[in-house]
Every structure is written in structure tokens, then in C-alpha cells.
Amino acid sequence: MDHREVAAVLTYAGRLDPRLIRTDPGEADNQLDTWHELLGDVPMATGQGWDVREIVRKRIVMSPYPILPADVAREWQAHRRERLARHTDPTPAADPDNPEAWRAELLAARDAVAAGQAAPSAHRGITAGRHRSGLKDQLAAVGSYIPSAVRAELAPFRPARAAREAAIAAGGPDVLGVPCEWCHAAEGESCRRRRITLDGTARGNAPRATAHPGRIDRALAEQAQASSA
């Protein structure tokens, strides 16, 4: 704000709080100079939610003490910090091989946001809610992130996963989609070899290429229940 705008703010504040009015010309000039010294880099109003008159009115209503120019300056700094906290630097249009131009464009964008000349640029966040129509078809069209040829080469090293994928492809149940009551393997984990010793305790932790029969029966039962539902 220039001297004229600061004088307008002082006139507005004095109308709301007569304690700010200075009748002596020397005191009035000193008051104007002090306010301009602290509010010279504070805008009168921006198109992004800042109006110094609203700040003055709120401060006079909330505090029993006369408003000070530092009160307005602190509100402006808080407003700037809040805007910059919501801002994400967009990719500059400048040549990335020109670091000076790249940096200058970033700083110009930040200064515009801080000064209230531009709205903060936010990240595109992941939103909750219903999936849009056709999403499953789009995901199916993408395919697997592992090519089929690579998957076939990995099959000998992943026998349990290979058997699971083969069963699902043949229309069978996902046996790893249910926990195993025999070896206590959690959902998604392969069954483990479980040996019962003479004292009745269970030992063995080697993974099995195939699921235990009880787990297969449970997966079949849940598949049949889901089909009939």
C-alpha cells in the first residue's frame, strides 16, 4: 500500500475506533509514516480472499486494545504462509536445461501466489467414492504388469503361485483367497508343510506348491456360495 491507501485504512480504522484518531498534524504524520513503514508491502485487497478492511474490523471487534499496524502485518504474513502451504509448484514451461529460467519461473509463480495474484496450484489428490463406470474394463485392457512369456519362465521358481494362477484360469477357486485351518496360513499366503511329532506338537515351515485339501474344499464352498448368490 502507498501513503494514500494507508491513510484510507487509518481513516476507516479511526471511524470504527476513535482512539486511533490523531488531531495534531505532527502526530498524524508520524502515525501515517509508522503504518506505511509496516504495511508498505501489504496489499489493500486481492482477488484471493484478502481485504485489509476486513482484518482491521475483525481485530477491533476481537481485541479491547487499539489496533497496531503490526497486527495487520502479522495477519498478512499468516495469510501468505497459508497460501504457500497449499501451493504445489507446477512444472515450468521453461527449458529444463536452462536452470536460471527454470528457477525464475518457479519463483515468479510462488510470488504470484503469495501476493494473492494467482490461486495456489494443488496436487490432484486421490478421492474417495464410487469408481467411475467402465473402470474395470479399462483395468482389464491394461493387462498384467508381468508379460505372459516372463510369467511362464518364472513358473518353476514360483510353483504355488503358478498353480494358483492355473486354477483360476481354468475356472477353479482361488485357494489362497481363504485361510488354511490346517497350517494356519493367512489369506494370500502359501500353505506350509506341517509335521506332527510324537509329543503332538506341529513342526515344519517349508512352503507347499499345493494347498491343503481342507483349504481347497473351503475355497470351493465359498466359490459355490458366491455363484448361487
185 Cβ contact partners less than 8 Å away, ≥ 6 residues apart: 179, 191, 192, 215
Average pLDDT, the chain: 83
Comparing 165 with 79, the larger pLDDT belongs to 79
Query: DSSP alpha helices (H): ranges in the chain?
Result: 3-16, 25-39, 52-62, 69-85, 99-114, 135-142, 148-154, 159-169, 213-228
| Mean pLDDT, residues 135-152 taken together | 68
CA 103 to chain centre: 24
Could you give the CA distance from residue 153 to residue 156 in angstroms, rounded to a whole number?
7
Confidence of residue 138 (pLDDT cuts 50, 70, 90): low
* Residue 97 pLDDT: 86
Q: Which grid cell is 112? A: 504470484
Q: How would you label 120-145 residue by residue, b for 16+ Cβ within 10 Å and e otherwise?
A: beeeeeeeeeeeeeeeeeeeeeeeee
Q: Identify the pLDDT of residue 145.
A: 64
Whether 29 and 4 have beta carbons less than 8 Å apart is answered as no
Is pTM beyond 0.75? Reply is: no
Residue 120 has pLDDT above 90, yes or no: no
